[in-house]
Amino acid sequence: MNGSALLSILDQAAASAAGDPPAYLQFLPLVAMAVIFYFLILRPQMKRQKDQQNKIAAIKKGDQVVTAGGLIAKVLKVEDNTVELEIATGVKVRAVKSTIGEIMAPGATVVAND
């Protein structure tokens, strides 16, 4: 093979490669899906979790809460990781703060699901 034939082959290879799109464009759809996944799923979930943590940290004596188990109770005492709840007159229980699902306004009425 002479030098001009080798140069001809290299020129043809370079010409065909010049028409191909850059390699990073193949990863662009994956990056776009990751960004969409973050903004539509992860970010709102992190915001809800942060709001829940802030509500739990703000629990005070006299608040009415609903536990994860569905018990409606009045907060009697707040400690670091636990709360003392009154679920009925004279019936006191201790619960872990993270099991509190919702904090209701004091004296709020609960409507039964019929």
Q: Is residue 9 part of a domain?
A: yes
Q: Is residue 89 part of a domain?
A: yes
Residues 73 and 45 in one domain: no
Residues 20 and 43 in one domain: yes
- Distant-in-sequence, close-in-space partners of 95: CB < 8 Å, separation ≥ 6: 67, 73, 82, 83, 85
pLDDT in tens, 86-109: 999 999 999 999 999 899 876 666
User: Given CA atoms 80, 81, 83, 84 in this order, what sign does their dihedral have?
Assistant: negative
Enter the tokens of residue 38.
């973050």
Segments forming the whole domain that contains residue 86: 60-104
Tokens 């979930």, residue located: 45
Calculate mean pLDDT across residues 30-47. Answer: 94
pLDDT in tens, 49-81: 999 999 999 999 999 999 999 999 999 999 999
Supply the pLDDT for residue 114: 46
Tokens 């709001």, residue located: 51
Residues 66 and 48 in one domain: no
Residues 44 and 65 in one domain: no
Residue 89 amino acid letter: T
HSE, side-chain direction, 13 A CA sphere, residue 10: 6
| Count of structural domains, the chain | 2
Is the pTM of the predicted complex or chain greater than 0.75?
no
Q: Residue 32 above 90 pLDDT?
A: yes
Q: Between residues 33 and 8, which one has the greater pLDDT? A: 33
CATH code, domain carrying 85: 2.30.30
